[in-house]
Chains A and B, each alone.
Chain A
Amino acid sequence: QLHLQESGPGLVKPSETLSLTCTVSGGSIGTSSYYWGWIRQPPGKGLEWIGSVYYSGTTYYNPSLKSRVTISLDTSKNQFSLKLSSVTAADTAIYYCAKIVGAWGQGTLVTVSS
């Protein structure tokens, strides 16, 4: 059974870079033709797709975030990661990693505050 787990700092200062890692167990991210993605949800609001990475490493980003987002794969660790630069309070949200289309991680709250 596929399991995903997000990890990273829960508090990030404005203008700094948010960095999260998703560790996948129960399946290999580098050998199956799936997309792996990051989605976020501001408190009390809906879901926003941030971006996805194909098992080959090709990435796709939300145009609204594209200039600040980097998603990458580390197949040796069976992980994929998210970096979001120049964060502001508007980036405060629960961040989820997910197999597109499939299981999601439990999510991690990231607060942007000084």
Chain B
Amino acid sequence: EIVLTQSPDFQSVSPKETVTITCRASQRIGSSLHWYQQKPDQSPKLLIKYASQSISGVPPRFSGSGSGTDFTLTINSLEAEDAATYYCHQSSSFPNTFGQGTKLEIK
């Protein structure tokens, strides 16, 4: 089973700042890494697929990069509505797995 480890677990950031969340895989997974945003009492929403592919309707301040074992989600010019928990997910092999989540607080 591929283990995904996100860092940090929690981050508190001011509006307009830039935040970077990382996801490290225990084995190489190519680009089969996806990022989700989950707000309280909502289902996860796909932000970035296959490491860096943008999703229609997602603001361009969200971007992803990486391949192999190390991946990054970058959120530029943070807004209050970006307060959420962010998860990475690998679909390279079964069982699919998720990172433990990164909770983002906007000061």
Q: In the assembly, what is the distance between CA of A60 and CA of B54, in Å?
A: 27
Which A residues lie at the B interface, using CB under 8 A?
A: 35, 37, 39, 46-49, 52, 60-63, 96, 100-107
User: Size range of the interface on B?
Assistant: 20 to 34
Q: In the assembly, what is the distance between CA of A52 and CA of B89, in Å?
A: 14
**B46–A101 touching, CB < 8 Å:** yes
Instruction: Tell me which residues across on chain B come within 8 A of A60, comparing CB atoms.
Output: 94-95
**B91–A107 touching, CB < 8 Å:** no
Q: In the assembly, what is the distance between CA of A61 and CA of B95, in Å?
A: 7
Q: Does B44 contact A (CB under 8 A)?
A: yes
List the 3 closest A-B pairs by CB distance, nearest first: A60-B94, A49-B96, A47-B98
**A49–B98 touching, CB < 8 Å:** yes
**B98–A48 touching, CB < 8 Å:** yes
Q: Pull 6 A–B residue pairs with CB atoms less than 8 Å apart, ordered by A.
A: A47-B44, A47-B101, A100-B96, A101-B49, A101-B89, A106-B43
Q: In the assembly, what is the distance between CA of A106 and CA of B97, in Å?
A: 20
Instruction: Tell me which residues across on chain B come within 8 A of A106, comparing CB atoms.
Output: 42-43
**B95–A62 touching, CB < 8 Å:** yes
> Please, which residue of chain A has its CB at the minimum distance from the CB of B6?
A46
**B1–A101 touching, CB < 8 Å:** no
Q: Does B62 contact A (CB under 8 A)?
A: no
Q: In the assembly, what is the distance between CA of A19 and CA of B86, in Å?
A: 29
Q: Does B5 contact A (CB under 8 A)?
A: no
User: Given contacts A46-B101, A52-B96, A63-B1, are A101 and B43 in contact (CB under 8 A)?
Assistant: no
- Which of A35, A37, A48, A104 is the one whose CB lies under 8 Å from B44? A104
> Please, which residue of chain A has its CB at the minimum distance from the CB of B90?
A49
Instruction: Tell me which residues across on chain A come within 8 A of B34, comparing CB atoms.
Output: 101
Kindly list 11 other residue pairs between chains A and B, CB separation below 8 angstroms, not including A46-B99, A46-B101, A47-B89: A46-B100, A47-B98, A49-B89, A49-B96, A60-B95, A61-B95, A62-B95, A63-B1, A101-B34, A101-B50, A104-B44
**B44–A52 touching, CB < 8 Å:** no
